[in-house]
Amino acid sequence: MKHLLPILLISALCRPLAAQTLPADARAQAERLRDAALADATVWTRLTDFVDRFPQRLSGSPMLAEALDHIEAGLRADGFDRVWRQPVMVPHWVRGHEYVRITSPTRRELPMLGLGNSVGTDGRPLEADVMVVADFEELAARAGEARGRIVLFNTPFTNYGATVGIRVRGPIEAAKLGAAAVIIRSVTPYSMQTPHTGTTRYEDGVPRIPAAAITPEDADWIARDVARGQRVRVELMMEARMLPDALSHNVIAEIRGSELPDEIVVMGGHIDSWDVGQGAMDDAGGCFAAWEALRLMKELGIRPRRTIRLVFWTNEENGLRGGEVYKDSVAANGELERHVLAIESDAGVFRPEGFGVTADDPTFAKVQAIGTVLEPIGAGTIRRGGGGADIGPLNRAGNVPMAGLNVDGSKYFWYHHTHADTIDKLKPDEVQACVAAMAVLSYLAAETF
Note whether 318 binds its own copies by CB under 8 A: no
* Distance between CA atoms of residues 110 and 99, nearest Å: 7
CB of 229 to its own copies, least distance (A): 12
Q: Is 45 in the site for its own copies (CB under 8 A)?
A: no
Query: Is residue 99 close enough to count as binding its own copies by CB under 8 A?
Result: no
Q: Is the peptide bond before 105 cis (omega within 30 degrees of 0)?
A: yes
User: Which of 72, 98, 254, 316 is an active site residue?
Assistant: 316
To the query of whether residue 66 is one of the catalytic residues in this protein, the response is: no
Contacts of 44 (CB under 8 A, 6+ apart): 428, 431, 432
- 258 is a contact residue toward its own copies (CB under 8 A): no
Based on the shown chain and the rule CB under 8 A, indicate whether residue 419 belongs to the binding site for its own copies.
yes
Q: What is the DSSP string of 393-427?
A: HHHHHH---EEEEEE--TTHHHHTTSTT--GGGS-
Q: How far is the CB of 253 from its own copies (least distance, A)?
A: 26
Q: Determine if 415 is a binding residue for its own copies (CB under 8 A).
A: yes
d(CA 9, CA 6): 5
Q: Which stretch binds its own copies (CB under 8 A): 294-302, 337-345, 399-407, 416-424?
A: 416-424
Q: Give 52 or 122: the residue with its C-beta nearer to its own copies.
A: 52
Question: Does residue 227 belong to the site contacting its own copies (CB under 8 A)?
Answer: no
Contact flag: residue 81 with its own copies (CB under 8 A): no
The DSSP element (H or E) to which 370 belongs, if any, is helix 361-374
**Among the listed residues 69, 217, 239, 245, the single contact to its own copies using CB under 8 A:** 217
- If the CB atoms of residues 22 and 64 are measured against its own copies, the closer one turns out to be 64
Amino acid at 75: L
d(CA 258, CA 269): 25
Report whether 233 contacts 222 (CB < 8 A): no
The answer for residues whose C-beta is within 8 angstroms of residue 45's C-beta and 6 or more apart is none
Classify residue 301 as left (phi > 0), alpha (psi -120 to 50) or beta.
left
Nearer to its own copies (CB atom), residue 49 or residue 375: 49
- Using CB under 8 A, pick the residue from 21, 23, 52, 123 that binds its own copies: 52
Interface with its own copies includes 40 (CB under 8 A)? no
Distance between CA atoms of residues 100 and 60, nearest Å: 25
Interface region with its own copies, contact rule CB under 8 A, candidates 172-180, 222-230, 383-391, 393-401: 222-230
Strand partners, 113: 213
**Cis? peptide before 81, omega within 30° of 0:** no
Q: Is 220 in the site for its own copies (CB under 8 A)?
A: yes
Phi, psi of 409, deg, nearest 5? -100, 20
DSSP state of 81: S
Q: Which of 28, 107, 122, 193 binds its own copies (CB under 8 A)?
A: 193
> Which active-site residues does the annotation give?
316
**Chain positions contacting its own copies, by CB under 8 A:** 48-49, 52-53, 106, 111, 191-194, 216-217, 220-221, 224-225, 228, 277, 414-415, 418-420, 422, 424
